[in-house]
Amino acid sequence: MGISLYQRFSIEQAALFLRISVGDLRSLIKQERVNYIEITKSKIDFFGYQLLEFLLSTATQHKSQPMAFSNTPDRIIRAKEVQSMTGLSRTTLWRLENKFEFPRRVSLGANSVGWKLNEIKRWIDER
């Protein structure tokens, strides 16, 4: 669903956009967790940017915590975990591998790769 920042939404449309029930949206309004515009005493509307602000605030509240390194046995980790640990994109990982500046990937099957956790930890410690 596309959205314009100054597009106005009724409470029903806003609930549909946020994929929550109207009752849940009314509860968020009472808790002052979502901004709105009061047209009359009984009519509430939302601008698109207000809904996007709410979505952004809920998305940033659930950030994953940094991974704590422990003395775990070596295991194979996937690209998303490597990206999370290093802060690098898939493309940057690939470029560093080709320059022999990053641990080599391990083939796990026809369309699947991973990296050895201990090699990634060692690479991070050396940085």
State which amino acid sits at residue 115.
Answer: W
What pLDDT score was predicted for residue 126?
A: 87
The two structure tokens encoding residue 65: 């915590």
| Predicted TM-score (pTM) of this structure | 0.46
28 near 34, Cβ under 8 Å? Answer: yes
| pLDDT tens track for 2-47 | 678 888 999 999 998 888 899 999 999 898 889 888 888 888 899 8
Please give the Cα distance from 17 to 9 (Å, whole number). Answer: 9
pLDDT digits (tens, 9 = 90+) for 67-121: 555 555 678 999 999 999 999 999 999 999 999 999 999 888 888 889 999 999 9
Give the pLDDT of residue 52: 87
pLDDT at 65: 56
Could you tell me where the DSSP H helices lie in the chain? 11-18, 22-30, 48-61, 79-86, 90-98, 117-126
